Amino acid sequence: MSNKNRDEEILQLLEESPSQFVSVESLAQYFKTSESTIRRTLQRMSSQHKLIRVHGGATSLHFSGNFRFDRLDKEYLERERTEPNTKRIIAKKAASYVKDHLCIYMDASTTVASMIDFIPPLKNTYFVTNSPTLAQKLEERGFTCYVTGGELKISTNAFIGSYALDFLKRFNFDIGFFGTNGIHPQAKFSTPDPQECMIKSAVISKCYSIFILADHSKFDNIATATFSDFARPTLITDYANDVYKSLLKIIEVEPQKGEQK
């Protein structure tokens, strides 16, 4: 039996299972093969994001399955300390798309914030953000920046709510840069806070070009609220497998000499 046919049958068995779990032992009996062969098959399918490999078998990569949910926002400083080298590699690539004579939105994201160090001097370029921290950093670099105001959410250092939304309706953006908590084939790009989701979605609808910045750890995560599908954004990341490359536009960045992922 070919790998493709076996994979399809395993996925069908998962869908038909009430628990959305199949064991190595049951699959070995079903396919009349060794358990070691099944383990290798499940490991390969897991690496291709077709299912989730768990102890004793596999579970479905589905909303009711057993995969990672990100329901709570981490504190801003905690996120800032996570994978700092990878953030800077991604941010440097994103900053290369910032040019003169643009109106640019920058999301309240620590990876997006890392872009500011790499933005060159600009002429007639305006920045808009819902983050007081990003606004201060942009002003310190001498850039013209508009900040939304509104209700301040301390944990993510972001303005949210109706005031921020009304402010953003005034703008049309050449480029928008965003962070994300989760990337998933079904849930798409997601964030834990529905109010931040509203901000992101509203801005995305006003952007000509959309870049989402995220390292590989965000794949297969689902947060509470989906803020964008895969159709329009380009994802800048350090690594993505072939499954995600087939689903969305991806720019992969490699670490420079002396840097590590």
User: In this model, does residue 133 exceed pLDDT 90?
Assistant: yes
User: In this model, does residue 18 exceed pLDDT 80?
Assistant: no
> Is 167 within a domain?
yes
Q: Where do we find the tokens 């640019």?
A: 104
pLDDT, tens digit, 9 for 90 and up, residues 92-131 = 999 999 999 999 999 999 999 999 999 999 999 999 999 9
| Per-residue pLDDT at 96 | 97
Same domain, 229 and 125: yes
User: In this model, does residue 65 exceed pLDDT 70?
Assistant: no
pLDDT, tens digit, 9 for 90 and up, residues 150-172 = 999 998 899 999 999 999 999 99
Residue 186: give its domain's CATH number. Answer: 3.40.50.1360
Token code pair at residue 231: 């159709």
User: In this model, does residue 63 exceed pLDDT 60?
Assistant: no
> Is 169 within a domain?
yes
What is the Cα–Cα distance from 226 to 220, expressed in whole angstroms? 13
Secondary structure E strands in 56-150 = 57-60, 69-70, 103-106, 126-129, 144-147
Q: What is the DSSP string of 123-136?
A: SS-EEEES-HHHHH
User: In this model, does residue 258 exceed pLDDT 90?
Assistant: no
Stronger pLDDT, 3 or 232, i.e. the higher one: 232
Residue 43: give its domain's CATH number. Answer: 1.10.10.10
Average pLDDT of the segment spanning 56-79: 61
Name which of 12-26, 125-139, 163-177, 199-213 the model is least confident about.
12-26
Stronger pLDDT, 34 or 54, i.e. the higher one: 34
> Buried b / exposed e across 98-131, counting CB within 10 Å, b at 16+?
beeebbbbbbbbbbbbbbbeebeebeebbbbbbb
Number of domains in the chain: 2
pLDDT, tens digit, 9 for 90 and up, residues 208-254 = 999 999 999 898 888 889 999 999 999 999 998 887 888 899 999 98
pTM of the model: 0.76
| Per-residue pLDDT at 64 | 44
User: In this model, does residue 257 exceed pLDDT 90?
Assistant: no
User: In this model, does residue 89 exceed pLDDT 80?
Assistant: yes
> Is 141 within a domain?
yes
Same domain, 31 and 157: no
Q: Residue 140 belongs to what domain range?
A: 70-252
> Is 30 within a domain?
yes
| Per-residue pLDDT at 66 | 42
Same domain, 50 and 75: no
What is the Cα–Cα distance from 259 to 255, expressed in whole angstroms? 5
Name which of 48-62, 121-135, 196-210 the model is least confident about.
48-62
| Per-residue pLDDT at 82 | 64
> Is 259 within a domain?
no
The domain boundary, picked from 60, 90, 109, lies at 60
Same domain, 138 and 89: yes
The domain boundary, picked from 13, 31, 60, lies at 60
Confidence class for position 75, pLDDT limits 50, 70, 90: low
